[in-house]
């Protein structure tokens, strides 16, 4: 393989390496833990995250009592995230309207989690619990009623379960598996563009895993559906929680078996093959046409970089 330019230190993969001990066996103690004067909380308002403005950026972890004071009691819903250094930490939903109202107060920064992660507005250690809180509270917002009988459900186990009082069905938080993959053929890789991408950005192909499908089958199906490329061998790379709203990104590299692309325009704006040297320039933000890859917070960046640097399974 030709030598690769120095891309610098490997960046951290966003929303991973959580310092939270989830301590599932203590979820029955939620009420007592909420009374702990040291308890902390991350404040979520729909898609928005509330942080306090600090000298070194946003401070997203509030004292639980201070977080509760940001919204009327009727508008709060909390979940126990776990413990950090023995101190309980919660996710607290204050509602979209309350979060919007806080934008007018100078001491707060209220913005979406993507912007927080991409712009580095909080210390990296806060991203995993923010992702956990946002995803779990989003699940509650979408699953208030029993899918079996339609009755309003009750929250249990500190937010990690909902129980139907009518038919006694138990409902648990869901995570949607998504494959995200880079198809490679020799010194080229396949990248695609969605209409919702930032201008000039190209990325890995991705799609939800369907029922009855394993990871390898999902990778092959999605690449063929979106770009008309058949794939053979598939190699797992890494995974990433993705709280938009509640997915697990399963990163892979795949062996492309043909070269002719046929784009599904209902899924992609475009797809094309890129040479390794060109992708290196994209990663370094030095491409002559301004083309780029996703930011380091996203697993797509790491999947692409690993291939450029030769840090992947060789299919040749």
Report the 10 Å Cβ neighbour count for 50.
25
Task: Please give the pLDDT value at position 73.
Answer: 57
DSSP conformation letters of 139-150: HHHH--B-TTT-
In a domain, 131, yes or no: yes
- The pLDDT-based confidence of 90 (bands split at 50, 70, 90) is very high
The number of domains in the chain is 2
**Do 62 and 109 fall into the same domain?**
yes
Structural domain of residue 73, as residue ranges? Answer: 24-142
In a domain, 225, yes or no: yes
Q: Is the pTM for the entire model greater than 0.85?
A: yes
CA 271 to mean position of chain CA atoms:
23
Task: Please give the pLDDT value at position 2.
Answer: 60
Helix (H, G, I), strand (E, B) or coil at 28: helix
**Do 101 and 200 fall into the same domain?**
no
- Note the pLDDT tens digit of each residue in 248-277: 999 999 999 999 999 999 999 999 999 999
In a domain, 15, yes or no: no
**Do 182 and 293 fall into the same domain?**
yes
């Amino acid at each position: 393989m030709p030598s690769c330019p120095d891309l610098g230190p490997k960046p951290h993969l966003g929303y991973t390496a959580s310092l939270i001990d989830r301590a599932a066996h203590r979820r029955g103690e939620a009420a007592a833990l909420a009374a702990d004067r040291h308890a902390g909380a991350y404040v979520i308002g729909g898609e928005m995250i509330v942080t306090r403005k600090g000298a070194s950026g946003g401070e997203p972890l509030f004292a639980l009592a201070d977080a509760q004071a940001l919204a009327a009691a009727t508008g709060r819903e909390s979940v126990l995230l776990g413990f950090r250094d023995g101190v309980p930490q919660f996710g607290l939903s204050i509602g979209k309207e309350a979060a919007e109202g806080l934008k007018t107060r100078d001491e707060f920064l209220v913005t979406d989690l993507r912007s927080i992660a991409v712009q580095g507005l909080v210390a990296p250690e806060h991203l995993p619990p923010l992702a956990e809180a946002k995803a779990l509270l989003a699940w509650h917002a979408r699953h208030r009623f029993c899918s079996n009988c339609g009755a309003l459900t009750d929250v249990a186990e500190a937010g990690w379960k909902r129980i139907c009082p009518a038919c006694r069905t138990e409902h648990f938080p869901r995570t949607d598996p998504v494959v995200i993959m880079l198809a490679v053929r020799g010194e080229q890789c396949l990248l695609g563009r969605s209409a919702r991408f930032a201008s000039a950005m190209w990325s890995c192909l991705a799609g939800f895993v369907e029922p009855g499908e394993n990871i390898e089958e999902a990778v092959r199906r999605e690449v063929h559906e979106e770009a008309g490329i058949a794939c053979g061998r598939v190699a797992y790379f890494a995974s990433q929680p993705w709280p938009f709203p509640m997915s697990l990104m399963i990163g892979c590299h795949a062996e492309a078996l043909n070269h002719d692309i046929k784009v599904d325009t209902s899924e992609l704006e475009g797809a094309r093959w890129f040479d390794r040297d060109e992708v290196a320039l994209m990663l370094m933000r030095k491409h002559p046409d301004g083309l780029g890859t996703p930011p380091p917070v996203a697993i797509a960046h790491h999947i692409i970089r690993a291939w450029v640097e030769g840090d992947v399974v060789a299919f040749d």
